[in-house]
């Protein structure tokens, strides 16, 4: 299903089933969970893996069409998502996910979002996005873009990560 046809209106966290034995633990086919929300994992999108060191943050961006499906596989992280609603009020969603809370966060288009570590250990994030990254024409806007003009949202976003990241 195309991102603009997905019925999901707000970011959600979905529990993942962890399989463990004497060799360790793992999540098997975690992105299949997204299909319950009519998000098809396909070659139209891409899977990315990032390692975030120490207290570094990955913040301040949003998408017009793309859906992000995030799983932290090493360490723990906070995911913050914000959006101005039709009344111009800022809605906020916060999730703490990772080794101690195995969940997938699904963020629909139109929500500003970012990720920060819970501690100084950093984290490894695996995420599926429904749109491939296109250099020169990405479906992405960042707080740092010249045409971004919502300093209140940016300030509240950064405060939400700081409060949770101490």
Domains of the chain listed by start with CATH number: 3-132+141-164 (2.60.120.10)
Task: State the sign of the Cα–Cα–Cα–Cα dihedral 40, 44, 157, 126.
Answer: positive
pTM of the predicted model as reported, rounded to 2 decimal places: 0.85
Residue 166 has pLDDT above 70, yes or no: no
Enumerate residues 6+ apart whose C-beta is below 8 A from 17.
27
pLDDT at 4: 43
Q: Is 82 helix (H, G, I), strand (E, B) or coil?
A: strand
Q: Looking at residue 163, what is its pLDDT?
A: 45
pLDDT of 67 over the 90 cut: yes
Distant-in-sequence contacts of 19-28, Cβ < 8 A, 24+ apart: 27/71, 27/73, 27/102
What is the pLDDT at residue 2? 44
CB 124 within 8 A of CB 72: yes
Q: What's the pLDDT tens digit per position in 97-130?
A: 999 999 999 999 999 999 999 998 999 999 999 9
Q: Contact, 91 vs 12, CB < 8 A?
A: no
Residue 129: exposure state from Cβ atoms within 10 A (0-12, 13-18, ≥19):
buried
Determine the average pLDDT of the residues in 83-107: 92
Give the other-Cβ count within 10 Å of 163's Cβ. 11
Is the pLDDT confidence value at 43 over 50? yes
């Amino acid at each position: 299903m195309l991102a603009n046809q997905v019925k999901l209106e707000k970011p959600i966290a979905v529990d993942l089933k962890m399989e463990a034995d004497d060799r360790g633990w793992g999540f098997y086919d975690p992105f299949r969970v997204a299909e319950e929300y009519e998000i098809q994992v396909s070659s139209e999108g891409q899977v990315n893996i990032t390692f975030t060191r120490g207290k570094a943050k990955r913040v301040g961006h949003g998408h017009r069409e793309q859906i992000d499906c995030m799983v932290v596989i090493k360490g723990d992280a906070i995911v913050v998502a914000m959006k101005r609603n039709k009344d111009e009020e800022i809605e906020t969603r916060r999730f703490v996910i990772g080794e101690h809370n195995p969940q997938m966060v699904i963020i629909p288009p139109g929500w500003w979002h970012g990720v920060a570590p819970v501690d100084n250990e950093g984290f490894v994030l695996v995420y599926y996005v429904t749109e491939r990254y296109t250099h020169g024409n990405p479906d992405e806007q960042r707080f740092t873009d010249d045409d971004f003009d919502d300093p209140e949202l940016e300030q509240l976003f950064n405060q939400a990560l700081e409060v949770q990241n101490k």
